[in-house]
Amino acid sequence: MEFESERLKANHYLIEDIKGKYEINLEEKLFQFSLRTIRLLSLVPYRREFDVFRYQLSKSATSIGANYQESQAASYAEFRQRIQICLREARETVYWMSLLQELLKDQSNTEEKIDSLYKESVEIKKIFGTIFNKIRNKNLKS
């Protein structure tokens, strides 16, 4: 039981934005983000031109959480590499979300969900950018 509480503490991050400071469980946030993204993709029209969105966005969005999971059981060098992959996947997710957001902006059944997921993807990108910058700065000081 002690191990579980330590693991949960390890996955909690303090986030600061214009609304103030709040704590998140990054592992849970990434899991829920993946689920919501997959559910959103089931609402995307089944036309050939949207196939690439379903494929690429499902891969990049779920890869963030998967690589974060791997980073938690890794050496420091592997941790750094996995966090860098998370950042790259988050950036790709923002790209695909923004395209999808623009293409489906007039569809009432998806617009609010896409807007919400787009904002969350930007937040996740910023979180991993911050984590990666701290790792990089730590390496520069060493």
Q: Give the range of the structural domain holding residue 88, as residue numbers without chain letter.
A: 25-141
Three-state DSSP at 21 gives strand
Decide if 122 is inside a domain. Answer: yes
Which pLDDT value is given to residue 74? 86
pLDDT tier at 7, thresholds 50, 70, 90? very low
Bridge partners, 23 (sequence order): 14
pLDDT computed for residue 57 by the predictor: 97
**Whether the predicted pLDDT of 138 surpasses 70:** yes
- Residue 93 inside a domain? The answer is yes
- Any idea what the CATH number is for the domain that residue 40 is in? 1.20.1440.60
State the pTM of this model. 0.82
Main-chain dihedrals φ then ψ at residue 105, nearest 5 degrees: -65, -20
Provide the mean pLDDT of the chain.
86
Q: What's the domain count of the chain?
A: 1
* Separation CA 22–CA 13 (nearest Å): 8
pLDDT of residue 87: 98
The per-residue pLDDT for 15 is 61
> In this structure, what are the phi and psi dihedrals at residue 21, rounded to the nearest 5 degrees?
-110, 140
